Amino acid sequence: MDSSIFREYDIRGIYDQNLTQDIVFTIGVLLGEHIKQNGSTSIFIGYDARTHSPQLYEWLKAGLFQSGIMVYFIGMIPTPVAYFATYNTIDGVSSPNSIMITGSHNPPQYNGFKITIARKPFYGKDIKDLGEKLAQNLRTYVPAPIQDHPINALKAYKDYLIEHFPNLKNFPYPIALDYGNGVGALGLEDVLDALHIPHHALFETPDGSFPNHHPDPSEEKNLTQLKSYLKSHAIPIGLAFDGDADRIALLTANHDYKGDELAILFAKNLSENGISPLVIGEVKCSQIMYDTIDKIGKSVMYKTGHSNLKIKLKELNAHLAAEMSGHMFFNDRYFGYDDAIYAGLRALELFLKQTPKELEATIESLPALYCTPEEKVPASEENKFIIIEKLHEILKNPPSDFPKILQIISIDGVRVIFEDGWGLVRASNTTPVLVTRFEAKDKPTADFYKKQLLELIEKIKNLLY
Contacts of 71 (CB under 8 A, 6+ apart): 42, 43, 45, 61, 64, 65, 146, 148, 149
pLDDT by position in tens, the chain (length 465)? 788 899 888 999 999 999 999 999 999 999 999 999 999 999 999 999 999 999 999 999 999 999 999 999 999 999 999 999 999 999 999 999 999 999 988 889 999 999 999 999 999 999 999 999 999 999 999 998 878 899 999 999 999 999 999 999 999 999 999 999 999 999 999 999 999 999 999 999 999 999 999 999 999 999 999 999 999 999 999 999 999 999 999 999 999 999 999 999 999 999 999 999 999 999 999 999 999 999 999 999 999 999 999 999 999 999 999 999 999 999 999 999 999 999 999 999 999 999 999 999 999 999 989 999 888 999 998 899 999 999 999 999 999 999 999 999 999 999 999 999 999 999 988 788 999 999 999 999 999 999 999 999 999 998 887
User: For this structure, is 327 an active site residue?
Assistant: yes
The pLDDT assigned to 57 comes to 97
**What's the pTM value of the predicted model, to 2 decimals?**
0.95
Distance, CA of 64 to chain centre: 26
> What's residue 228's pLDDT?
98
User: Is 3 a known active-site residue?
Assistant: no
User: Of the candidates 367, 378, 377, which has an alpha carbon nearest to the alpha carbon of residue 423?
Assistant: 377
3-state class (DSSP) for residue 291: helix
Catalytic residue status for 218 = no
DSSP string for 269-314: HHHHTT---EEEEETTS-HHHHHHHHHHSEEEEE-SSHHHHHHHHH
Closest to 113 measured CA to CA, from 149, 147, 158, 64: 64
**pLDDT confidence of residue 273:** 95
> What angle in degrees, to the nearest 10, is found between the helix axes of 53-66 and 21-37?
50
Q: What single letter denotes the amino acid at residue 449? A: Y
Give the pLDDT of residue 2. 85
One of 95, 104, 299, 325 is an active-site residue; which one? 104
Q: Is the dihedral of CA 333, 322, 74, 184 positive or negative?
A: positive
Integer Cα distance of 10 and 96 in angstroms = 18
Measure the CA–CA gap between 6 and 23, rounded to whole angstroms: 11
Which structural domains are found in the chain, ordered by start? 3-154 (3.40.120.10), 165-364 (3.40.120.10), 370-464 (3.30.310.50)
How far apart are alpha carbons 191 and 184 in whole angstroms?
11
List 213, 247, 327, 426, catalytic entry:
327
With a CB cutoff of 8 Å and minimum separation 6, the contacts of 448 are 403, 440
Can you tell me the distance from the alpha carbon of 464 to that of 452, in angstroms, rounded to the nearest whole number? Answer: 19
Q: How far is CA 237 from the centre of its chain?
A: 22
